[in-house]
Homo-oligomer: A and B are copies of this chain.
Amino acid sequence: MSAITDDKHLLENMIASEQVWQGRLLDVRRDQVRLPDGAEGVREYVMHPGAVVIIGILDNGQLLFERQFRYPVGQVFLELPAGKIDADEDVLRTAQRELLEETGYVAQEWRHLGVMHPCIGYSNERIEIFLARRLERRSAPQLDHGEHLDVLELSLEDALAAIRRGELTDAKSITALFWAEKVMTAGW
């Protein structure tokens, strides 16, 4: 990677920032920026609190998955458990909370694998990737109001086959699953 000093010809600097819309979920901003060539530009984006995604590996080797209708796309998605970070919440705590709420499982062993940015063109969201092992079913899922999903188990092999066939297209889940394969087969 190049040092920061090599990046001056790429940097954009804020001139002014405005919140143009605030909903229950979305916080939309429009900034005036100084472009690297000195011209002015506009950047529009969503402010996001960040999220976690969890690869939960059961003692039988199967992974925990969910099927959930995603209204913006209008499809049911096969995806890994995931959720937004609450204000001031430690990210490991988020992962533990979301796994329990969405699947009813707790895990004895947690490992942070890395971070991804899902939508760098128009959102500041980051997603922290966690691997959870030594799982134990503690309760039924405790879903938020308005949240409806099915919990299911799939092997990593079957999940990768679903990616190949185009039946698992959620990028956070694809990234996390390929990463999990590297952990299991290449010592990542």
Show the binding face of A for B, using Cβ within 8 Å: 1-2, 7, 9-12, 20-21, 23-26, 28, 30-31, 33, 35-37, 39, 41-46, 67-74, 76-79, 114-127, 145-146, 148-150, 162-164, 166-167, 169-172, 174-175, 178-179, 182, 188
Q: How far is the CB of A181 from chain B (nearest CB, A)?
A: 8
Q: At the interface, is chain A mostly helix, strand, loop or mixed? A: mixed
Q: How far is the CB of A165 from chain B (nearest CB, A)?
A: 9
Q: How far is the CB of A84 from chain B (nearest CB, A)?
A: 8
- Decide if A174 touches B178 in the complex (CB within 8 Å): yes
- In the complex, besides A26-B45, A116-B170, 18 extra interface pairs with C-beta distance below 8 angstroms are A1-B78, A1-B162, A1-B167, A20-B23, A21-B28, A24-B42, A25-B122, A36-B69, A37-B148, A46-B46, A72-B122, A73-B117, A118-B119, A119-B119, A119-B123, A123-B123, A171-B171, A175-B175
Q: How far is the CB of A120 from chain B (nearest CB, A)?
A: 4
Which 8 residue pairs are nearest across A and B when measured between Cβ atoms?
Answer: A178-B178, A45-B72, A21-B21, A70-B120, A43-B71, A116-B171, A23-B44, A10-B69
- Decide if A44 touches B25 in the complex (CB within 8 Å): yes
Residues of B within 8 A of A79 (CB): 120
Q: Looking at A36, A72, A182, which has the most chain B CB atoms within 10 Å of its CB?
A: A72
Complex CA gap A79/B20 in Å reads 29
- Decide if B71 touches A33 in the complex (CB within 8 Å): yes
Q: How far is the CB of A103 from chain B (nearest CB, A)?
A: 16
- How many chain copies does the complex carry? 2
Contact of A71 among B20, B31, B114 (CB under 8 A): B31
- Decide if B10 touches A120 in the complex (CB within 8 Å): no
- Of chain B, the residue at the smallest CB distance from A68 is B10
Complex CA gap A126/B74 in Å reads 12
Contact of A171 among B11, B31, B42, B117 (CB under 8 A): B117
